[in-house]
Structure 1
Amino acid sequence: MRAKDIMSSPVHTVTQTATVESAAELITAHKVTALPVVDTAGRLVGMVSESDLLWHRVPADPTARLRRLPDTDPANRPGMIVEIMSPYPVAARPDDDVAEVAERMLEHDVRSMPVLEDGTVVGIISRRDILRAMVRGDDVLTAEVQHRLDEYAGSHRWTAVVEGGVAHVTGEFDDDTEQGIAAVLARTVPGVAAVDVGPSRPA
């Protein structure tokens, strides 16, 4: 399963000069945890998350407002995204394996990762996207794999059964190339961990 199979697209982005308030409105309205930050050419330059916004808008000490600390004075608060964003964001490519994407998310402690193609943001993946793809039941996966196989073959030539996330595809294949195509079709279904393709077993 690849990043392009589960990423959300199109992506809501903000520019470096956007206001903190506008980013907060986007995150709230679209129920996302972070937004890619792009420059005027549309190139990724950073990420701004819910925690970035909260860190600069909500004082850690609830009594701070009573002591009028300089960093809680509205006049000193950052106003633009460029002031609070995380630069040099970790990114994925459309063909990256989802397992590798998940590993990088955990390693860098990020909840969302933009997906780049030729330097342009084409999607975004969250931890929730990965979990949603991984926890689908075998019956749902079986139906989706079977649908893709039937759609390609134009009939019910092959039979798919998913057990424990492993797709078993059996039937009559003209050659190795056809087996390879069936394997690729099954593997593109989000939630399929591995694929086993072979001729029908004797009853």
Structure 2
Amino acid sequence: MAGKRKYDDGCAVAHALDLVGERWALLVVRELLLGPKRFTDLQTGLPGVSTDILTQRLRELAAAGVVRRRRLARPAASWVYELTRWGAELGPIVVSLARWGGRSPGLRPDAPIGVDSVLLSLEALFDARAAEGFAATLGLRVGEDDFTVTVADGRIAVSRGEPDDPDATLATDLDTLLALLRTDRPLDELLDGGTAKGDRGLIERWRALFPLPDPVPVEDRT
């Protein structure tokens, strides 16, 4: 990582920022938390980053042992980037950062957001108390992307790919999913029929598990 500015500080926090604190670096990690991606997939998830900067960040993260490049088996045989086991340990940190940032009064709900960001936000927003006694596996298709969302024992797990035996499935676009999570509009009205299978009451209960946080009080910001 020659040429990078470093803090030259013995604090582990400073060293962590040396590794993942450059602009776009932690967002690259965010894009890989739900599974490997091709370079072009990363560009789709990070539309504001240039090709050169993304290449540089991937090279730096690989040198730091956070990301690795791997060739998929045939018939795909394409190159993908994925987190190492150590890199994957950043998952709870990214979710906690999202939880913290979600309380900022400066967060713009109308700003663009990617599919992976929305799926990871489910972990940040998840209300374990609201999920008491609730257990279900939901298959969620957003555009062309498939995800499995499992809630059990007051915990949530989100992964890329279709579930084997879901209790319900929901296929929608990103804007509709955001409306499902951020508004009280009826499910049938939002989906316009035909895109939800299984117990719709279960889906309604599921969407209530992700309440938006209240902004941090002014007195806590002074």
Fold shared per TM-score above 0.5: no
User: Which has more strand, going by share of residues?
Assistant: 1
Q: Name the TM-score, length of structure 1 as normaliser.
A: 0.23
User: Computing the radius of gyration over CA atoms, which structure comes out larger, 1 or 2?
Assistant: 1
TM-score, with normalisation over the residues of structure 2?
Answer: 0.22
